[in-house]
Amino acid sequence: MKYEWVIFDADETLFHFDAFAGLKCLFANYQVDFTHDDFEFYQRTNKPLWLEYQNGEISAEYLQVTRFNFWADKLGVEAKTLNQGFLQAMADICQTLPGARRLLELLETRAKLCIITNGFTALQQIRLERTDLSHFFEHVIISEQVGCAKPDVRIFEHALALMGNPDKQKVLMVGDTLSSDIQGGVNAGLDTCWINHAGDKEQDTVGATYQVACLTSLYQLLK
């Protein structure tokens, strides 16, 4: 195999991330029937905050609290408490994407594996433990801990330093999001593989080295 290191994103690359289901679980604890309309309203706040976080304009803590301010006021509960409940709910319903474990099993004897995620510490550590995936990875780099998020080149530089500064031509970044995973890999001078779950519905505007539709296809590409 060409690559000595493969860096993975986490959400929707290795793990299914069903935010709507997690929010329904969270608000059921407060006797709220959280609807799709509620989710769309939540996303109108949440999505711009994520973009600001990726751009280094706000902190992880600010994002996590601010996205729940509306519901905190409505329910008389601290936004921080709602965020903690949401992360716990997401941990409770976590599932790996089809083919994720098998891919890691096949790759672990051929390359060293790493995760760089913009997700939050509380959720990442629990998911890796509950799915028994922790042992596959040499390093798990979490933006909340590093202080910058993909696509900022600094988080990749941090990861590469932990990896012993390998030849960048032998490192592959794999992720599902063009604006963070693939752009970040490009910024760092790495080859990239975009997992395009949407198929022809979304166009590569960044310039990934490879494009696949699923994790099984990724193994066929790398073997």
Q: Which residues are catalytic?
A: 9
Question: Which token pair is 127?
Answer: 């998911």
Amino acid at 35: T
Question: Which token pair is 131?
Answer: 């799915």
The distance from CA 215 to its chain's CA centroid, rounded to whole angstroms, is 15
Question: Which token pair is 37?
Answer: 């309309």
| Spatial distance between the Cα atoms of 32 and 136, rounded to a whole number of angstroms | 39
| Spatial distance between the Cα atoms of 137 and 128, rounded to a whole number of angstroms | 10
| Spatial distance between the Cα atoms of 129 and 145, rounded to a whole number of angstroms | 18
Amino acid at 162: L
Question: Which token pair is 53?
Answer: 């976080």
Structure-token match 């990861």, residue found = 159
Q: Burial, 73: exposed, middle or buried (Cβ in 10 Å; 0-12, 13-18, 19+)? A: exposed
